[in-house]
């Protein structure tokens, strides 16, 4: 891969990583610690992620157990989870919090699949925008006579191959998550 195309390939990979992180936060009816990744807790005035202040474990397929290292923070963690958009009420047993993930209804599964497909399409649009920016940059270089017309054509083909590969990866990532959601 040429040094001209590499930065655009890196940006495409970042878009895919962002999609993967967003999809990991979608709950599929089974316990997944990734749903807590975006939640921060006020820990002595500092916003801190839950996984940095507690042990998170999967007790059963649909139960997540959060055991804070500092027992005095359990109320703050509980408040942060209630204020978040995950839609699960934690139960407190004094030393840890339990999150019980309800089974998803068929209708909710279909809605989630629609959301996942939309996220995949948004990622593809971002990748195509990266390609467009690259092609525009290459054309500008050719206009300034920094690269030849043949180089421009080669770079356009190369960035198109990178785009196609990235879009194929997005489709695979979306398909895996879709299968996970629809699995009963």
Mean pLDDT of 126-152: 93
Angle between helices 106-143 and 6-24 (to 10 degrees): 170
Q: How far is CA 169 from CA 25, 146, 176, in A?
A: 19, 33, 11
Is pLDDT above 70 for 152?
A: yes
pLDDT tens per residue across span 36-89: 888 889 888 889 898 889 999 888 878 889 999 988 889 999 989 888 877 788
Residue 24: predicted pLDDT: 81
Is pLDDT above 70 for 29?
A: no
Domains of the chain: 6-24+105-182 (1.10.132.20), 33-100 (3.30.1360.40)
Residue 138: predicted pLDDT: 92
User: Residues 64, 98: contact at Cβ < 8 Å?
Assistant: yes
Q: What proportion of the chain, given as a percentage, has pLDDT over 70?
A: 97
Is pLDDT above 70 for 131?
A: yes
- The sign of the CA dihedral 155, 161, 164, 165 is negative
Is pLDDT above 90 for 15?
A: yes
CA distance 9 to 72: 46
Q: What is the DSSP string of 19-75?
A: HHHHHHTS--SS--GGGGTT-EEEETTEEEEGGGTEEEEEEETTEEEEEESSGGGHH
DSSP conformational letter for 97? E
Q: Which tokens is 159 given?
A: 């960035």
Residue 184: predicted pLDDT: 62
């Amino acid at each position: 891969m040429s040094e001209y195309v590499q930065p655009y390939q890196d940006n495409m990979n970042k878009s895919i990583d962002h999609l993967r992180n967003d999809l990991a936060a979608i709950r599929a009816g089974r316990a997944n610690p990734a749903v807590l990744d975006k939640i921060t807790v006020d820990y002595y005035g500092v916003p801190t992620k839950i996984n940095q202040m507690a042990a998170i474990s999967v007790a059963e397929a649909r139960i997540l157990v959060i055991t804070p290292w500092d027992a005095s923070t359990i109320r703050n963690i509980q408040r942060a989870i209630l204020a978040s958009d995950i839609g699960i009420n934690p139960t407190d047993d004094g030393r840890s919090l339990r999150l019980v993930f309800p089974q998803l209804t068929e209708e909710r599964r279909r809605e989630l699949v629609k959301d996942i497909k939309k996220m995949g399409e948004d990622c593809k649009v971002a990748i195509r925008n990266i390609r467009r920016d690259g092609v525009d940059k290459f054309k500008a270089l050719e206009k300034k006579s920094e690269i030849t017309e043949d180089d421009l054509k080669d770079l356009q083909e190369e960035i198109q191959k990178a785009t196609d590969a990235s879009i194929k990866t997005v489709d695979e990532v979306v398909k895996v998550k879709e299968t996970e959601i629809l699995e009963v």
